[in-house]
Amino acid sequence: MNSRYLAGLRLNRNLRATASMAEAVAEADVLIMGVPSQAMRETARNAARHVRAWVPVISLAKGFENGTGLRMTEVIGQELPGHPLGVLTGPNLAREIVDGLAAASVLAMEDAVIVEQLQRLFRSGMFRVYSNLDLVGSELGGALKNVFAIAAGMGDGLGAGINTRSALLTRSIAEMTRLGVALGGNPETFAGLAGLGDLITTCTSPQSRNRTVGFELGTGRKLEDIVKSMNQVAEGVKSCGPIYELAREHKIEVPIITEVYKVIHEGRSPRAAFRGLLRRGARSEAEPG
Ligand SMILES: NC(=O)c1ccc[n+]([C@@H]2O[C@H](COP(=O)([O-])OP(=O)(O)OC[C@H]3O[C@@H](n4cnc5c(N)ncnc54)[C@H](O)[C@@H]3O)[C@@H](O)[C@H]2O)c1
Ligand SMILES: O=P(O)(O)OC[C@H](O)CO
């Protein structure tokens, strides 16, 4: 059992826990990195002393590094150079998967041969794994959707209706695609499991930590109190800053991300954020906003 994070659920009996990095990593044929984004560099650096050369490293994290604005496989690549890198991402709420409910995921790597081999390794009865050679787009989808989930949660916390949520999700996927393509992803990836699929799950499930942060903000609670009361990471809170900066750097208009950034970093109220989105000028559906 992992009573702190997945209370009441029995873990697979093949899992073995250890607090020793050397023991966890030294004999590994594949390394799977499942820590919050802001802990990724330190964790990869600690692993580097023990891991064998050429072992593939797969990231599960969905965020950007604060300060550098780097994606997780970029961070891992700096600390573990020469290893084939990938991400496993998609609509994958941990609790549902441990509970044995069916789910689909994307394993994205740039090497077509290795991704096919690992796809077989990750696939099991109720867990269907698709491959994708667009590592950058798949990784971006997972990180960007967290900020949109905060926005969707804020709407729900404010008592907005399903029409509002649907409008927000649809404009979010347009915004995700626009920014994701500018940052090097393929547009098709954002319409797949790593983009739209994960956006739907995270924006609609009460299990999502990012949506929960947004929801609580919408009901009027303070960000500091919400984060303090959670024992798990809500990646969108810390990744929102680097994402906003990347959009500015690439001159991409991102109205939803901008409003979430203002709520998190500039004390704007969720109600004012939603009003800000509604008051934007008339435009075509193909335009930002
Ligand atoms: N939980 C999910 O449903 C889920 C699903 C898909 C992807 N992810 C992503 O996986 C990543 C990790 O999420 P999580 O749900 O496991 O987070 P979590 O907060 O529940 O747990 C993180 C784990 O990392 C450990 N950790 C925290 N800081 C650390 C540090 N400095 N050094 C070493 N270990 C540290 C914690 O002890 C804990 O075991 C996130 O990027 C998240 O977006 C989570
Ligand atoms: O709980 P969240 O908001 O971190 O979302 C978890 C997963 O990313 C959903 O796919």
pLDDT recorded at residue 116: 97
| Per-residue pLDDT, 191 | 98
Question: What is the model's pLDDT at position 126?
Answer: 94
Q: Among all ligands shown, which has an atom nearest to the Cα of 5? A: 1
- In single-letter form, the type of residue at position 42 comes to E
pLDDT at 284: 86
Q: Is 43 in the pocket of ligand 1 (CB under 6 A)?
A: yes
**Contact indicator for 98, 15 with CB cutoff of 8 Å:** no
Q: Ligand 1 centre from 131 Cα, in Å?
A: 23
Report whether residue 280 contacts ligand 1, using a CB cutoff of 6 Å. Answer: no
pLDDT at residue number 272: 97
Beta bridge mates, 89: 106
**Whether pLDDT at 181 is above 80:** yes
Residue 289 has pLDDT above 80, yes or no: no
- Whole-number mean pLDDT of the chain? 96
Here the ipTM equals: 0.97
| Ligand 2 pocket, mutate which of 62, 72, 207, 217 (most atoms under 8 A from CB) | 62
CA angle 230, 232, 236 (to 5 degrees): 95
pLDDT in tens, 204-263: 999 999 999 999 999 999 999 999 999 899 999 999 999 999 999 999 999 999 999 999
What is the Cα gyration radius of the chain? 19
Query: Quick check: 123 and 106 in contact, CB under 8 A?
Result: no
Question: Would you state the pLDDT for residue 56?
Answer: 98
C-alpha distances out from residue 132 to 10, 113, 119, 188, 256, Å: 31, 12, 10, 11, 27
Q: Does residue 286 surpass a pLDDT of 90? A: no
Ligand 1 centroid – CA 239 distance (Å): 14
Question: Cβ neighbours of residue 248 under 8 Å, at least 6 residues apart?
Answer: none
Two tokens, residue 168: 């927000």
**Residue 206 vs residue 282, higher pLDDT:** 206
Cα gap 191→4, rounded to integer Å: 34
Q: Is there a binding annotation on residue 208? A: yes
- HEC string of the chain? CCCCCCCCCCCCCCCCCCCCHHHHHCCCCCEEECCCHHHHHHHHHHHHCCCCCCCCEEECCCCECCCCCCEHHHHHHHHCCCCCEEEEECCCCHHHHHCCCCEEEEEEECCHHHHHHHHHHHCECCEEEEEECCHHHHHHHHHHHHHHHHHHHHHHHCCCCHHHHHHHHHHHHHHHHHHHHHCCCCHHHHCCHHHHHHHHHHHHCCCCHHHHHHHHHHCCCCHHHHHHHCCCCCHHHHHHHHHHHHHHHCCCCCHHHHHHHHHHHHCCCHHHHHHHHHCCCCCCCCCCC
Atom of ligand 2 nearest to the CA of 210: 3
Is the pLDDT reported for residue 269 higher than 80?
yes
**Is 65 known as a binding-site position?**
no
Verify whether residue 145 is a known catalytic residue: yes
Predicted local distance difference test score (pLDDT) of residue 279: 87
Q: Calculate how far, in angstroms, residue 232's C-alpha sits from the geometric centre of ligand 1.
A: 7
Average pLDDT of 191-209?
Answer: 98
The pLDDT score that the predictor gives to residue 234 is 97
Would you state the pLDDT for residue 276?
Answer: 87
pLDDT bucket at 282, cuts 50 / 70 / 90: confident
Average pLDDT over residues 75-90: 98
Q: How far apart are CA 136 and CA 120, in angstroms?
A: 21
Give the strand order in the sheet containing 127-132.
31-33, 57-59, 85-89, 103-109, 127-132
CA distance 264 to 137: 25
In the numeric block, the tokens 């790593």 are attached to 194
Query: Which numbered atom of ligand 2 lies nearest the CA of 91?
Result: 10
Decide if 174 contacts 144 (C-beta within 8 A): no
The alpha carbon of 60 is separated from its chain's Cα centroid by a whole number of angstroms, namely 8
What is the mean predicted confidence (pLDDT) over 122-127?
93
- Does this model's pTM top 0.90? My answer is yes
Residue nearest to atom 6 of ligand 2 (CA): 93
* pLDDT at residue number 158: 97
Share of the chain above pLDDT 70, in %: 100
Average pLDDT over residues 56-65: 98
